[in-house]
Amino acid sequence: MKPYRELSKEELLALQEELQAEYDTEKAKGLNLDISRGKPGKEQLDLSMPMMDVLNGETVLNAENGTDVRNYGVLDGIPEAKELMAGMVGAKPSQMIVLGNSSLNIMYDCVARAELFGIMGSTPWSQLDKVKFLCPVPGYDRHFGVTEQFGIEMINVPMTEDGPDMDVVEDYVNNDPSVKGIWCVPMFSNPGGVVYSDETVKRFANLKPAAKDFRIFWDNAYGIHYLYDRPESEQPHILNILEECEKAGNPDMVYEFCSTSKITFPGAGVAAMASSEANVADIKAKLQWQTIGPDKINQLRHVRYFKDINGMKEYMKKHAEIIRPKFEAVLETLEKELGELGIASWSKPVGGYFISFNAQKGCAKAIVAKCKEAGLVLTGAGAAYPYGNDPEDSNIRIAPTLPSTEELSIATALFVTCTKLVTIEKLLAEM
């Protein structure tokens, strides 16, 4: 197939007619498909069901420090949960606060605390005229939702294949004291699947923020979510930001987050944050009035199930076996159907939960709408940008994990048809 830009008007019209017929046939089927959110599929959730039994029949539900986990207490998590979650991000247990079921909730609370009370004695953000966050794009829509809700001005930072464009990041952070934070997903970023290079992490650690209460919101949501089973030394990796910040004399500059949402159960896993001991103390001083303590039974259940971080990493291979074929099926179809047409590009992730798709400029909204009309729900076009505004109207996030393989192949075929149709309409309009 020739690239679309080399086709004559007549050829494009003929193709359009053919594709429209395909589209109409699919639409008539009354499909109800969803590749919009990064949710694990049923088979993945089934994997974790034995965890529900690990505490059954136990008569002693004590943490290793003797705490009866059934009762109140322990603000920052039981020691063995700190150890397990520390393993996910390479932190020391003393740097951990292990909380409830959602890391996004922890991030939200970090922003809310900074707004209400300030960080380590700094002026609360809510009392400042202007607070800004840097937002590498495309990024995670819910991050942007948090900062938008607090009225924080969001600034787009382009992503490169090594992470955010660090020239832009340094320029803002080192010169503008109203820049108080940056959202980062350093490993298998949502949605681009980007793994931050060592140089990027080092440049982050060596920032010289104009604001002393500037924090990097390092959301390591996909830190062990590899799609391929390779020896550890061959897996993509990121440098340990906590250690790098310490080395650079910036020990307090980062809040790191993680959870087991996409390891056990989204919404019923364990979430944690890791930071310097000074930050941990600052946070706990406020947290103590927010809760008497997290769900320690769930924490213990997770620890007993996995035993340790190696158990958890081993377990992730089972997830990979389930979702890798789904990713590969989508990528193969995209390559086969669109690879030679010169009308789109897409990420080829080796971990995480998403494929980031870039259509021709000005086509994303129309493609998403066309898919929806035929019963396929995609993440809203623009969602991966602050204020839902993709300046190019080009990016679409594909989340292949939730549907069955069969549903996914129907969904991808329809997506491809819609992409072709919308692009042809645009090319014809430009002629």
Binding mask 152-191 for ligand PMP (x = CB under 6 A): ---------------------------------x----x-
Q: Does 109 bind ligand PMP (CB under 6 A)?
A: no
Nearer to ligand PMP, 156 or 190 (CB): 190
Residue 102 and residue 264 in contact, taking contact as beta carbons nearer than 8 Å = no
Q: Does 104 bind ligand PMP (CB under 6 A)?
A: yes
Least distance in Å: CB of 220 to ligand PMP? Answer: 9
Nearer to ligand PMP, 110 or 338 (CB): 110
The vertex-330 CA angle with 327 and 334, nearest 5°, equals 135
Residues 34-53, interacting with ligand PMP (CB under 6 A): 38
Q: Does 299 bind ligand PMP (CB under 6 A)?
A: no
Which of 67, 95, 261, 299 contacts ligand PMP by CB under 6 A?
Answer: 261
Q: Does 266 bind ligand PMP (CB under 6 A)?
A: yes
Largest CA distance in the chain: 78
Q: Does 323 bind ligand PMP (CB under 6 A)?
A: no
Nearer to ligand PMP, 193 or 266 (CB): 266
Nearer to ligand PMP, 251 or 352 (CB): 352
Nearer to ligand PMP, 163 or 266 (CB): 266
Least distance in Å: CB of 403 to ligand PMP? Answer: 16
Residue 64, Cβ density class (10 Å: 0-12 exposed, 13-18 middle, ≥19 buried): exposed
Least distance in Å: CB of 43 to ligand PMP? Answer: 18
Q: Does 385 bind ligand PMP (CB under 6 A)?
A: no
Q: How many angstroms separate the CA atoms of 364 and 391, rounded?
A: 11
Least distance in Å: CB of 386 to ligand PMP? Answer: 15
Contact stretch for ligand PMP (CB under 6 A) within 67-75, 98-106, 122-130, 357-365: 98-106
Q: Does 140 bind ligand PMP (CB under 6 A)?
A: yes
Which of 74, 85, 114, 271 contacts ligand PMP by CB under 6 A?
Answer: 271
Least distance in Å: CB of 63 to ligand PMP? Answer: 22
Q: How many angstroms separate the CA atoms of 321 and 302, rounded?
A: 21
Least distance in Å: CB of 224 to ligand PMP? Answer: 14
Nearer to ligand PMP, 262 or 420 (CB): 262
Q: How many angstroms separate the CA atoms of 258 and 98, rounded?
A: 10
Q: Does 264 bind ligand PMP (CB under 6 A)?
A: no
Least distance in Å: CB of 262 to ligand PMP? Answer: 7
Q: Does 103 bind ligand PMP (CB under 6 A)?
A: yes
Binding mask 206-245 for ligand PMP (x = CB under 6 A): -------------x-x------------------------
Nearer to ligand PMP, 192 or 293 (CB): 192
Nearer to ligand PMP, 91 or 104 (CB): 104
Contacts with ligand PMP by CB under 6 A lie at 38, 102-104, 140, 185, 190, 219, 221, 259, 261, 266, 271
